[in-house]
Amino acid sequence: MATTENAYIRTELEVRRERLLAASQSNSADSSLPQLLASVDAALSRLKTGTFGICEQCHESIEADRLLYDPLVRFCLDHLSAEEQRALEKDLVLAAGIQRTLLPRADWSVDGWQARYHYQPANLVSGDYCDLIESNGGFLFLLGDVAGKGVAASMLMSHLHATFRTLAEQHLPLQKMMEHANRLFSESTTAGQYATMIVGYARPNGKVSYVSAGHLPLFHISSFGVRPREATGVPLGMFCTTRFPVCELELEPGDKLLLYTDGLTEMFNAAGDEYGVARVHALAKKHAAADPEAMLTACLEEIRNFSAAAKQTDDLTLLVLHRAQ
Ligand SMILES: [Zn+2]
């Protein structure tokens, strides 16, 4: 670890040591305190001898973010004890539960519109973001994909959720909302952390405005066919100041929009072929007449057939919006 981080950790450990010493002098001191004190002393001694942050089993570096969070860890993620692994799994199950509460209702509908989605993390938690927010008589629909996966991506996903939920209450024009969200996201992430996203606003009369921040094309499914709509800007969080051009669409009764994350397009079959956008296009055409629920079911069935025995390696989200007849 960097010297400044080590200095920070040493100070932290010394503060904890003082606290532990004070607490252990109390009459009602917990019996675990001497053991904790020994662990803190051992970590301080590792700092002194230069072995701090080295896994005691494989002698590789321990993940830096874990050390900052808990300077007492002695093993890398690959070499946790069975007890530590159980604790980590428990934390992840809890995080997955929290993440599920951030999702919209499964049977979502508002004036003249119906929405159905499928949200499937590759592991316990997902870096995909999906939300529907009623606003000013219409509703906002949001679908995004944070770069990377796992716990770090899921934390950024919940960050996006909180950001957009807060901004939605201010009823800003779409472009302004994206600019604010982008600035907030850029300021709170490090380089290399960004999210591709589609954010749209649908009105009861079928008019839809949307922004696509570097996201995969969305499909407009109508009686005239299926039309892809490409991204209009760069991903969120990539540059502090950037503009997000707004596009307009008009949906007739019966029309649908299909949005998805790269868990769909970057899925592979047993022969090593990637699913790709062209197959999504064909999929949308094939099921153009289906209602949103049937469309999702059919899509998932085709995806399962395509990937067969291949393991799901990326988070997958599908969102279908339907302008009711
Ligand atoms: Zn190790």
Tens of pLDDT, residues 140-189: 999 999 987 778 888 889 999 999 999 999 999 999 999 999 999 988 77
Under a CB-based contact definition with an 8 Å cutoff, are residues 122 and 312 in contact?
Answer: yes
**Cβ contacts of 63 within 8 Å, gap of 6 or more:** 76, 77
Per the CB < 8 A criterion, the answer to whether 306 and 269 are in contact is yes
Instruction: Compute and round to an integer the Cα radius of gyration of the chain.
Output: 24
Which of 38-47, 97-106, 136-145, 186-195 shows the lowest per-residue confidence on average (mean pLDDT)? 186-195
Contact 104, 117 (CB under 8 A): yes
54 C-alpha to ligand 1 centroid (Å): 8
Q: β-strands 218-222, 225-229: how paired?
A: antiparallel
CA of 80 to the centre of ligand 1 (A): 8
Give distance in angstroms: CA of 306 to centre of ligand 1: 37
Mean pLDDT of 272-284: 94
Distance 1 CA to ligand 1 centre (A): 16
Q: What is the DSSP letter of 313?
A: -
Interval between CA 65 and ligand 1 midpoint (Å): 15
Can you read off the two tokens belonging to residue 230? 């490409």
Q: What does the pLDDT look like over 231-256, one tens digit per residue? A: 888 999 988 888 899 999 999 999 99
Given a cut of 70, whether residue 2 has pLDDT beyond it is: no
How far, in Å, is the centroid of ligand 1 from the Cα of 157? 29
As a whole number, mean pLDDT of residues 73-79 equals 90
* Residues whose beta carbons lie less than 5 angstroms from ion ligand 1: 55, 57-58, 76, 79
Element (H, E) at 308: none
> 15: CA distance to ligand 1 center in Å?
28
What is the overall mean pLDDT for the chain?
Answer: 91
Residue 321 to residues 166, 172, 303: CA-CA distances in angstroms? Answer: 23, 22, 19
Q: Does the pLDDT value for residue 25 go beyond 90?
A: no
> pLDDT confidence of 222, banded at 50, 70, 90?
very high
